[in-house]
Amino acid sequence: MSGLIDLHAHTNASDGTLTPDQLIGLAQHNGLDALAITDHDTFAGYEAALPIARAAGLDLVRGIELNSRLVLAGDTHPRFAHVLVYFPANEPSAEFKTWLLEERAERRSRNEKLITALQEREVDINLPEVEARGRSITGRPHFARILVEKGYAANFEDAFHKYLGEDAPSYVERVSKTTEEVIQLARLGGGIPVIAHPVRLALPRVAEAALLEHLQKLGLVGLEVYHSEHPPALQAYYRDLAAKLHLLPTGGSDFHGAVKPDIDLGSGRANNVQVPVDFLDGLRRFVQ
Ligand code: AMP
Ligand code: FE
Ligand code: FE
Ligand code: ZN
């Protein structure tokens, strides 16, 4: 028992590259006491991994990562926030699962529009070939890989710059619930909402703290303090901020397998993530 856990990891049920059983194998190999599978928009990876984790004696936590539209006064660009939702001691409600089906239908409709926009730009691409990469959840990273393979973009970043990102002419925005709505849906569904990798909000500290305080009042429960993209000083800052705002600290590597090869499960980037097991105890106590 290492006393270490990882509360943020993806399987190939969304945009990770490891199968659920390979992820469980790696969690054991890396000596983790507990793991949360937090695929984008689906529980399929968690559900496939559950019997394997039980047989292996690994504490597996149900989680999910959802996109949300963050609306801030004065914004001219669309802004998004990822919300992790944990179910460490109970099942999601039927309503929450139905809502996920709607989210996935909206994602598919966005993907259809994105294909049309790319074809209008003379790109040779079709939906079946992209969906073949994405299995249950097809996202822009799957589009990006095909654009690179076919020579339309030099690399992943270039594919977003030229074709898929919000400043590209073929960009298609996903219709997303607001961050406030996602937090409320998570709470109604029996889950624990947590703002993921706050560094990506890219907000000045005062604005960020005001936003988190506002969201806490609306039902936000946690803040992802430890993350592969948070340098040590930032982790310390977020840990203090979480305590100050009465938010539970969480943490994880955001492991995606071979698409982010510098990030390892349980330890992040060059060992910058060490999540203590009492963060999970905190989540479990909240539910009770
Ligand atoms: P989707 O949920 O299909 O809209 O895809 C969102 C995912 O695309 C994010 O989680 C990132 O992994 C990736 N992504 C978004 N913007 C960029 C970007 N500018 N460069 C690289 N990856 C990006
Ligand atoms: Fe991802
Ligand atoms: Fe994320
Ligand atoms: Zn993630």
Asked whether residue 235 carries a pLDDT value surpassing 90, the answer given is: yes
User: Where does the chain show beta strands of DSSP type E?
Assistant: 4-6, 34-37, 59-69, 80-87, 192-195, 222-226, 248-251, 263-264, 268-269, 275-276
Atom from ligand 1 closest to the CA of residue 107:
3
- Establish whether residue 276 lines the binding site of ligand 1, counting it when its CB lies within 6 angstroms of any ligand atom: no
Which pLDDT does position 133 carry in this prediction? 86
Q: What average pLDDT does the segment 179-196 reach?
A: 98
For residue range 2-48, list pLDDT tens digits in order: 789 999 999 999 989 999 999 999 999 999 999 999 999 999 999 99
Amino acid identity of 150?
A: K
CA distance 75 to 72: 6
Which pLDDT does position 3 carry in this prediction? 84
Going from the Cα of 107 to the center of ligand 2, the distance in angstroms, rounded, reads 14
Asked whether residue 287 carries a pLDDT value surpassing 80, the answer given is: no
Which residue(s) pair with 65 in the sheet? 40, 84
Ligand 1, atom 3, residue with closest C-alpha: 139
- Establish whether residue 160 lines the binding site of ligand 1, counting it when its CB lies within 6 angstroms of any ligand atom: yes
Going from the Cα of 173 to the center of ligand 3, the distance in angstroms, rounded, reads 17
Q: Which ligand is nearest to the CA of 160?
A: 1
Q: Give residue 34's Cα distance to chain centre.
A: 18
- Residue 146 backbone phi and psi in degrees, to 5: -70, -40
Asked whether residue 97 carries a pLDDT value surpassing 60, the answer given is: yes
The best mutation among 140, 142, 176 to test binding of ligand 1, ranked by most ligand atoms within 8 Å of the C-beta, falls on 140
CA distance 144 to 157: 8
Q: What average pLDDT does the segment 117-139 reach?
A: 92
Asked whether residue 131 carries a pLDDT value surpassing 70, the answer given is: yes
Higher-pLDDT residue of 78, 197: 197
- Establish whether residue 161 lines the binding site of ligand 1, counting it when its CB lies within 6 angstroms of any ligand atom: no
Model confidence band, residue 1 (pLDDT cutoffs 50, 70, 90): low
Going from the Cα of 12 to the center of ligand 4, the distance in angstroms, rounded, reads 12
Going from the Cα of 55 to the center of ligand 1, the distance in angstroms, rounded, reads 34
- Report the percent of the chain where pLDDT is more than 70: 99
Please, what is the average pLDDT of the chain? 95
Which pLDDT does position 58 carry in this prediction? 97
Higher-pLDDT residue of 183, 3: 183
Asked whether residue 288 carries a pLDDT value surpassing 60, the answer given is: no
Q: Which residues surround ligand 2, an ion (CB under 5 A)?
A: 15
Asked whether residue 215 carries a pLDDT value surpassing 60, the answer given is: yes
Which pLDDT does position 137 carry in this prediction? 85
Going from the Cα of 40 to the center of ligand 2, the distance in angstroms, rounded, reads 7
